[in-house]
Amino acid sequence: MAKSRHDASEKQTGSAEHRHGGEHAGGGMGMRGVTRPMHESHDHGMSDSQRSEMLRMHHQQTLWVYWTILLVGVWVLLSPVTFGYGKAMVVPSGERGVWFSSLTHDELRATLMTFSDVASGLLLLVFGWRALRPNRPVSLWVCCFVGVWLNVAPVLFWAPTAAAYLNGTIAGALLIALTILIPGMPNMIMYMQMGPPTPPGWSYNPSSWPQRWIMIVTGFAGWIVSRYLAAFQLGYIDQIWEPFFGQGTRQVLNSDMSHMWPISDASLGALAYTFEFLMGYMGSP
C-alpha cells in the first residue's frame, strides 16, 4: 500500500514537472511581448508545428503593436494638412542654399515632405493591416523601413518647418520600435536557435541590460545634442547656446566645410545617433 502511494506521488510529481517544462519551453518564447522572444534554455528539438504555435501565441500577445502601427499610419498620412508644411517655412542658417544650390527651394521642400508623408502613411495602412495576421514578416519589414525613411526624409529634404522635422523623426523612431524592438525581429521564433544565457567561454552575457544601458544613455544624449545643433542649422532656431566653445559651434555649423555637404551635417549626425540609441535595446532580456 505504501509503495503504491509512493509510485502515485512520483507520477504526479513527474507530470507536474513535465507541464512546467512545457510551459517554460513554449510560453517563455511565445508570450514575451516587451522585447525579443528569447528563451532561457536550450532548444529541445521543437518541431515546425510547435514553432508555428509559439509564433501565433506571441503575435496574439503583441497584437496591440500592430494596431498601433495602423494608428501611426493615419497620423503620418494626415500630418501635412495638420501641421501645414507649406506655411511658416524657414531658411537654413548661414544664408546657405540646399542641395548644392544657392536657392532654398521652399516650395519644393514642402512638396517633397508632403508627398513623403502621404506615401509613407498609405504604406503603413496597407502593410500594417496585413501585419494583423501572424506570419507576415515582409509586411513588418516594410513598416520598419518606412520608419527608417521617415527619419531620413526630413534630413534629405531639408524639412521646411520644425513640426515636419520633429514629426518625421519621432514617428520614424516609434515605428522602428514597434516593428523590430518591442515584438522582436519578425518571425524570429521560426528560425532562432536556443542557447545558454551566457556565451561559451564568457563569465557574463555581453548583450544583457547591465552591459547595454550605457550605450542607450550615451546614444540618447548624442541624439538630443545633435538634434539641437540640427535645429539651428536647418533654421528652426536663430541662436545656439553651448557652454564650452562660445561662438565656435556657430562658426563651425556655418563654415564652408559644413556648406560642402548637400544636406545638414548636424541632422545627419542626429540620424546616426537615432539608430545607435534604438539598437541599444536589441539584446538579451
In a domain, 179, yes or no: yes
Neighbours of 108 (CB within 10 A): 15
Instruction: Count up the domains in the chain and report the number.
Output: 1
For 34, which DSSP code? S
- Nearby residues of 207 by Cβ (< 8 Å), 6 or more positions away: 283, 284
Whole-number Å distance between alpha carbons of 253 and 240: 10
Task: For residue 27, tell me if it sits in a domain.
Answer: no
pLDDT in tens, 180-236: 999 888 877 666 666 677 878 888 887 788 888 999 999 999 999 999 999 999 999
At 158, list the grid cell: 531639408
* pLDDT score, position 14: 46
Q: Specify whether the CB–CB gap between 38 and 285 falls below 8 A.
A: yes
Q: For residue 126, what is the DSSP state?
A: H
* Domain encompassing residue 144: 60-193+205-279
Examine residue 54 and state whether it is found in any structural domain, yes or no. no
50 falls within a domain: no
CA distance 169 to 172: 5
- Residue 37 included in any domain: no
32 domain residue, yes or no: no
DSSP label at 194? P
- Asked, for residue 38, whether it belongs to a domain, the answer is no
Identify the pLDDT of residue 236: 93
Per-residue pLDDT, 13 = 45
For Cα atoms 231, 236, 239, give the angle at the middle one, nearest 5 degrees. 80
User: Could you report the per-residue pLDDT of 12-38, keeping only the tens digit for each?
Assistant: 444 444 444 444 444 444 444 444 444
Asked if residue 115 lies in contact with residue 127, where contact means CB atoms within 8 angstroms, the answer is: no
Distance CA 274, CA 267 (A): 10
- The pLDDT profile of the chain, 285 residues, written as one tens digit per residue, is 444 544 544 444 444 444 444 444 444 444 444 444 444 434 456 676 777 788 788 788 889 999 999 999 999 999 999 998 888 788 888 778 788 677 788 889 999 999 999 999 999 999 999 999 988 899 999 999 999 999 999 999 999 999 999 999 999 999 999 999 998 888 776 666 666 778 788 888 877 888 889 999 999 999 999 999 999 999 999 888 877 877 888 888 888 888 888 999 999 999 999 999 999 888 766
pLDDT recorded at residue 25: 41
Position 6 in a domain:
no
